[in-house]
Amino acid sequence: MGALSHGQIADVYVRLKAAIEGDFYIVEANERRIVLGNRACPFGEVVRRAPGLCRMTSSVFGGIAARNASGSTVVLEERIALGDPECRVVVWLTAPESARESVGHAYAPRDGDLAAG
């Protein structure tokens, strides 16, 4: 089985977060990036006291993308944890277009990942 397409990756994100009561939805999914919105944090109100929990989302999304592309960068543009009304997560599947967009967490494929070979 080969690497997931950008649309399949986006769908996996939505299904994973729905399983833990997040309300993520796809804003955009193309060969360059996946943009997701989220109306309900899966961590509930506790995330406002512990915004570092957002890093778990970044890690999961970045890891999945890196295993299916040549790497990824996850940018948490808006976060419920910081008082925004919704979350906005951008997963770059290619190099981000600008320095502002590259301020995120970078993930590289591991040896043996589908995209690495």
Distance between CA atoms of residues 68 and 72, nearest Å: 9
Q: Does 28 fall in a domain? A: yes
Look at the chain and report how many structural domains it folds into.
1
Classify residue 51: in a domain, yes or no: yes
Report the pLDDT value the prediction gives residue 102, as an integer from 0 to 100.
Answer: 60
CB atoms within 10 A of CB 16: 16
Task: Report how far residue 83's alpha carbon sits from residue 105's, in angstroms, rounded to the nearest whole number.
Answer: 21
Contact 42/13 with Cβ under 8 angstroms? no
pLDDT in tens, the chain (117 residues): 589 999 999 999 999 999 999 999 999 999 999 999 999 999 999 999 999 999 999 999 999 999 998 889 999 999 999 999 999 999 999 877 766 666 789 999 877 565 444
Question: Is there a domain that residue 1 lies in?
Answer: no
Q: What is the pLDDT of residue 116?
A: 42
Residue type, 57: T
Tell me the residue range of the domain where 84 lies.
Answer: 6-116
Question: What pTM was computed for the model?
Answer: 0.88
Q: What is the 3-state secondary structure (H, E, C) of 51-97?
A: HHHHHHHHHHHHHHHHHHCCCEEEEEEECHHHCCCCEEEEEECCCCC
